[in-house]
Amino acid sequence: MPEDIVDGTVPVEEPQGEFQGEPVENTVTDDVAADDSKPEIHEISCSNCGAPLTYMEGEAVITCEYCGTTTMLAGYDNIVTVESHYLLPPKVGRDEAIGIASGWLKKGFYKSKELPNKVSWRETEARVLPYWIVRCTGNTRWSGQQKRTRTIGEGKNKRTETYWEPVQGRINDNYTWPVYAREDTSEFWGIRNMEPGQQCVFPDWGKFILRIGGSKKAPNKNLLEGKMDFSIDELKKLNMQEHIINGQIVQERAEASARNRIIELHQQQAESKATKVTDIDTTIDVQGVDLVYVPIWELIYSFAGKDYHVLVDASRQEVLSGEAPVGKWAKATIFDIVFLLIAAIFAAIGGTADGAAWPWIVAGVFGGSAIAYSIWTATMKE
Ligand SMILES: [Zn+2]
């Protein structure tokens, strides 16, 4: 296990790119390249070790799988080495990742405890994903109007009136804002689910209609936590060096994207504090932009003829996102609670209504259904 993990503090230095002289770019012409839909493959040589680096059209952040140097193509005449370059060191291989996912599969009210024994693991894919982390401070001053009400007058003349009151405020926050370094967040399963606030746990209810709870939202976490200087050897330990995904978004664009997102966020925060915001000004101070590679395992398992995904963080050793069938007893419990509640309401009506039989009959039907569903659940296979 790697011990030389750099602690939480981040060196405050502008990641200055180094100009690497003449760009060495040549296109590997493919004989079958007649097909326009195929992305073109290009090649440059690693500025550090000279190894050939192949990359797809559109990729601009390329990491050498031999020495770990990352080259950024920021325009045709500007090839730079990314200096501020980190890795969340992977700690688990394929089998351990399946172990972590299996542990997750039996955890919680919604999943069957037997589930890990009944699934078959079909596909496992390692990926080392590129993220830009924009370290910055966002400062906002805003002013606006707040609608208020007050009561005026006495006795018969008493009435409420609305009036506007000027309000203002400041927002001041530090961020380590993550920007996924690729254009398409849907090319790999689960990338979007890792974004703070997005749904990351997806229960599969099948045909069951009373779908109460079971989903979860991704927490807001600092991707720089637990980082170390990028080391190709750490990836080689678990054979993940061949699974580095090149970035497509260069540093400048990542910075601009983070700025926009923070301006939007502050706008929303200001709007939540005033009925209308009339004036808002945000300044963002960028302290630095780091490239961090996050190793993950994408696992696919099948259960009862269906495929489900689980994404495991290979560094933090936890499930980032996952899909799982809801267990039969979770469904039975929900069914029984809902139906017994309805039965209780009708029984209460039966208690107050003057001798009417129908509320008791309805209560009996719902109560009986709950019991019948439990019996049926016991006989049915998971
Ligand atoms: Zn190299």
Vertex 208: Cα angle to 202 and 209 (nearest 5): 95
Element (H, E) at 292: strand 276-303
Other C-beta atoms closer than 10 Å to the C-beta of 148 total 12
Q: Give 365 Cα–ligand 1 centroid separation in angstroms.
A: 73
CA of 4 to the centre of ligand 1 (A): 22
| 150: pLDDT strictly greater than 60 | yes
Distance 71 CA to ligand 1 centre (A): 9
Query: For residue 23, what is the DSSP state?
Result: -
Amino acid at 40: E
Distance 52 CA to ligand 1 centre (A): 8
pLDDT at residue 77 is higher than 80:
no
CA of 75 to the centre of ligand 1 (A): 20
Residue 282: pLDDT band (50, 70, 90) is: very high
Going from the Cα of 49 to the center of ligand 1, the distance in angstroms, rounded, reads 4
- Model confidence pLDDT, tens digit, residues 100-146: 999 999 999 999 999 999 999 999 999 999 999 999 999 999 999 99
Are 264 and 257 a contacting pair, CB within 8 Å? no
In this prediction, residue 363 carries a pLDDT of 94
Q: Cβ distance 194 to 320 under 8 Å?
A: yes
Share of the chain above pLDDT 70, in %: 90
Collapse the DSSP code of 12 into the 3-class scheme (helix H, G, I; strand E, B; otherwise coil) and give the result: coil
CB 117 within 8 A of CB 141: no
pLDDT in tens, 323-372: 999 999 999 999 999 999 999 999 998 888 777 889 999 999 999 999 99
For residue range 294-320, list pLDDT tens digits in order: 999 999 999 999 999 999 999 999 999
Cα 305 to Cα 67, 117, 122, 126, 322, distances in angstroms: 43, 15, 12, 24, 17
